[in-house]
Chain A
Amino acid sequence: MTLLEFRDVHVTYTGSRGRVPAVRGVDLKVEAGKVLGVAGESGCGKSTLAMAVLRLLPKSAEVTGEILLDGEDLLTMGWGRLRAVRWTGASIVFQGAMHSLNAVQRIGKQVAEPMLVHDRDLSASDAAKRAEALLERVGLPASRLRSYPHELSGGQRQRVMIAMALACDPDLIIADEATTALDVMVQAQVLQLISGLVKERGVGLVMISHDLSVLSSVCDTAAVMYAGRVVEQGPAHEVFARARHPYSAALGAAFPVIGDPASRRNPGGLAGDPPDPGRLPEGCSFRPRCAVAVERCAESAPELLQVEGARLSACFVAQEGEPVVLG
């Protein structure tokens, strides 16, 4: 069952530098009980896309296209309905838990708050009991409800954020770099927790990260974004292991596989930075950093097309069936 669907979504910011396209036509689907990974670097539009789902973008952002949650378009929804959907239909776990939690409120109150707002009949003591159960579910002792955010470690705070996202039993969870700031072991704990929830409760999960290797281990499908577009999409482990777009290949190579002789004393990567969304190059936006670009790439931007099975790529070279990595 399709839980969330993006149809030709564009997001354009208007600011002092004029109109800046941050997301330029994205089509994606998330099934219930499945995990979609969205990979890309700073400025590629992945967080903008996440925020667009719950209409959390600033007024200066113009969103077009359709974002369907259970078939209902979130972009045209009335405010009352949208308020009901936030937390109960879909919730977001943001990066940087320190800044997302209220520093002067106890954890218990913050976890219980969305439950009380969305269920008028719920008593404060029942909410506290549910908050306790949620905390235990994410592996924190119930005594932590009495703590303030600064008394918790980074990993514990991130768990609190996940507990909050679960508070109203949403069908969809969006995790925006939810584990990026965590140490590997704590990250593994949080990822295990998240994957468990997807399996147990059949929620749909959108996981946003710059780390393609993390996505490959947790996600069913991965979409790689560059300059506001999806440039490659397919089964997550295949995208990581055998990229069909030169950008995904470089992104994957930035996270070497330990034990792989090819990456030993040979750090992969790309020269240059992602393009300024306000001044995108002509043709394919990846061309200036691309090692396999051909003449056509300067003339027009490639569409995201099927290259084999479930694999999609927006690269002329891959679409011709040629390798996207030199050597």
Chain B
Amino acid sequence: MSLDKVLTARDLRVEFGLPGGRVARAVDGVDLDVAPGEIVALAGESGCGKTTLARTLLGLERATGGEVAFGGVPLGRSTKALKAYRRQVQLVLQDPSGALNPRHTVYDAVAEGLRIHGITDDEPDRVAEALSRAGLRPPERFFLAYPHELSGGQRQRVVIAGALVLEPSILVADEPVASLDASVRGEILSLLLRLKEDAGLGALVITHDLGLAWSIADRIAIMYLGRIVEQGPVEQVLTAPRHPYTRALVSVLPDSPVAEPIVLAGELPDASRIPGGCRFRPRCQEVASGGALKVLDQCEGVDPAVLGPDAEPHLVACHLDRVLDDPARMAA
């Protein structure tokens, strides 16, 4: 695959020092690609490291290992390098009410990125173009509006317009609809889908909502305790999940393709106490039920390898999955 305009992470690691000398491994070896023209969903529970991963991809958090690159060029640490990078990779925040300054007009909110990047030519045209791409038409009508005069969906469109104004190749959206009312969500998700289809924009959408991934994403990566444990095309991962964790997540959804709900006991362990061997083992239903008996010593002793970004279409970090040779068994 050509790396032109592709956002890549290779063996990315982010560690935080905690009081008492402990170390939290928030991101613990992640390979991920996001190319223009595709929507990748990154899903997992709170505390799995998905937001830290997103912040690191944007250069807001420093990686302690591995590499983030755009178009094959590693992300530098200088202000200049970060600025150039952020013209290409833009962030869309979760809560539009918090992301917008209540005393700035829509025009100022959208033009801010241009001003920071010193782009002074055709400012009104660029702002108008970004607003109309975000579905706020006619754009001039919104120039002088303040955030409180807009609906929740319109506010989120303004936030997206602020990201689009720099004409980036990739958007990183952290829970882009979590704070919106249910009926308004579809409007924003349709917009992301349209930007991908019409303008070839790429997006990494971070979410805890698998239904959202089903609605818009092409590929999905499931994250557990700092590591991606399964990734592949949405249709395969969500309708025939192979990792026990993904199967459990999918099984508790209403009308799930997995027949019996598998409710895992306990909660996500602390990132400073990642279990040895397979990190999912202490909660794994296959280990608990004896289904993983023949690979149990591997589950206990061997950490499954980091999944490559695109070596195979559907990748699973599970010892049991590797010995079960018939991949169709879950679908049956």
Please report A residues at the B interface, Cβ cutoff 8 Å.
41-42, 153-156, 183-189, 192, 210-214, 216-217, 240, 247, 250-251, 253-260, 263-274, 289
Known A184-B249, A185-B248: A258·B238 in contact at CB below 8 Å: yes
A192 contacts across to B, CB distance below 8 A: 263
> Looking across the interface, which residue of chain B has its beta carbon closest to that of A241?
B255
Knowing A41-B181, A184-B45, A258-B253, say if A268 contacts B186 (CB, 8 Å). Answer: yes
B189 CB–A CB distance under 8 Å: yes
**A185 adjacent to B252 (CB under 8 Å):** yes
Q: A258-B238, A259-B239 are in contact. Are A183 and B181 (CB under 8 A)?
A: no
Contacts of B254 in A (CB 8 A): 213-214, 216-217, 240, 255, 257
Instruction: Provide the bound-state CA to CA distance between A272 and B135, in Å.
Output: 13
Q: B257 — which chain A residues lie within 8 A by C-beta?
A: 258-259
B189 → chain A, closest Cβ, in Å? 4
30 A-B pairs (CB sep. < 8 Å): A154-B46, A183-B45, A185-B249, A185-B252, A185-B264, A185-B267, A187-B252, A188-B263, A189-B263, A189-B264, A210-B181, A211-B182, A214-B254, A257-B255, A258-B214, A258-B238, A258-B250, A258-B253, A258-B255, A259-B239, A259-B256, A259-B257, A260-B255, A264-B235, A265-B215, A267-B193, A269-B186, A270-B183, A273-B152, A273-B184
Query: Does B183 contact A256, Cβ atoms closer than 8 Å?
Result: no
Judge whether B64 is part of the interface by a CB distance below 8 angstroms: no
**Known: A185-B264, A188-B252, A272-B151. Contact between A255 and B211, CB under 8 A?**
yes
Which of A183, A250, A251 interacts with B46 by CB under 8 Å? A183
In order of increasing CB-CB distance, the 5 nearest A-B pairs are: A269-B186, A267-B189, A188-B252, A273-B151, A270-B183
Cβ of B76 within 8 Å of any chain A Cβ, yes or no, is no
B183 touches A185 (CB 8 A): no
Tell me if A251 and B214 are in contact (CB < 8 A). Answer: no
Given A258-B238, A265-B216, A267-B216, do A273 and B181 touch, yes or no (CB 8 Å)? yes
Specify the chain A residue showing the minimal Cβ separation from B151: A273
CA distance A314 to B216 in the complex (A): 32
- B210 on the A face (CB < 8 A): yes
Q: Identify the closest chain B residue to A273 (Cβ).
A: B151
Using A188-B261, A256-B211 as known contacts, say yes or no to A251 and B182 having CB atoms under 8 A apart. Answer: yes
For A268, the chain B residues whose CB sits under 8 A away are 186
- Give the residue name and chain of the B residue nearest to A250 (CB): B183
Q: Given contacts A184-B45, A263-B215, are A258 and B185 in contact (CB under 8 A)?
A: no
Q: Which residues of A contact B248 (CB under 8 A)?
A: 185
Name the interface residues of B229-267: CB closer than 8 Å to any CB of A: 234-235, 238-239, 248-250, 252-257, 261, 263-265, 267
- CB-contact partner of A251 in B183, B193, B265, B267, under 8 A: B183
Partner of A254 from B46, B153, B186 at Cβ < 8 Å:
B186
Chain A positions within 8 Å of B255 at CB level: 213, 257-260
Q: What's the least CB distance linking B331 to chain A, in Å? A: 11
Contact of B187 with A by CB under 8 A: yes
Bound-state Cα–Cα, A255 to B252, Å:
14
Residues of chain A contacted by B46 (CB below 8 angstroms): 154, 183
Q: How far is the CB of B174 from chain A (nearest CB, A)?
A: 16
Task: Find chain B residues with CB under 8 A from A266 CB.
Answer: 215
B187 touches A258 (CB 8 A): no
How far, in Å, is A188 (CB) from chain B's closest CB?
4
